[in-house]
Amino acid sequence: MRRIIKETYTIVVMCGAISLIAGVVLNLQIEKIIMVPTILLMIPPINDIGGNIGCIIGARLASALHMGTVEPKLKKQRVLRMNVNATMLMSLLMFLITSAALFSGLSVFNIGPSPLRLTLSFMLAGIFLTPIVVLCSVGLAFISFIKGWDPDNVVSPLITSIADVLGVICLLIAIKIIGV
């Protein structure tokens, strides 16, 4: 119990600091958000999907590291490659399904300046976000395992906060690229 408290206390404090960054990034883009408030509809799902994807692969890798089926290295590991590939595919499917729901909702209720552009922005943001979150999860799992910390105590809380920040950043970049 002491080990869990010791490991998670530091992580939870770090998560609070990281999560503040997402708010700062949003605040820096407040003019754009005021012009297109529909952007706010897309923030919870992109952060949720990004965090969930990161937590899933992080938990799978933590188990694999504990069982010895994965070593904390990137090269020549079939189990690691299969987990990363499955996560990338699952994420793509989740972003496609969520994009379809977003487009339907925006179109039916006539919300926002351009449902298609907003939906494309959301999908593009998901495409940007997924590999970054996967890489961060793998890195956090490996680093925590090497340092003797339980990856289950480290990866999920940290990747959730990191995905919040990255989700907002990826969404804002995608909106700028698509031209919403």
The overall average pLDDT reported for the chain is 92
Q: Domain span at residue 116?
A: 2-178
Share of the chain above pLDDT 70, in %: 100
Q: Model-level pTM? A: 0.90
Rounded to the nearest 5 degrees, what angle is found at the Cα of 122, between the Cα atoms of 120 and 126? Answer: 115
Total tally of structural domains belonging to the chain: 1
The pair of structure tokens assigned to 100 is 């379809």
Say if CB 54 and CB 155 are below 8 A apart.
Answer: yes
Average pLDDT over every residue of 119-138? 97
Euclidean distance between the first and final Cα of the chain, in Å? 49
Q: Please report, for the domain that includes residue 122, its CATH number.
A: 1.10.357.20
pLDDT at 7 over 90: no
H/E element, 27: helix 2-28
Average pLDDT over every residue of 107-132? 93
Q: What pLDDT, in 10s, does the model give residues 36-77?
A: 888 889 999 999 999 999 999 999 999 999 999 999 998 889
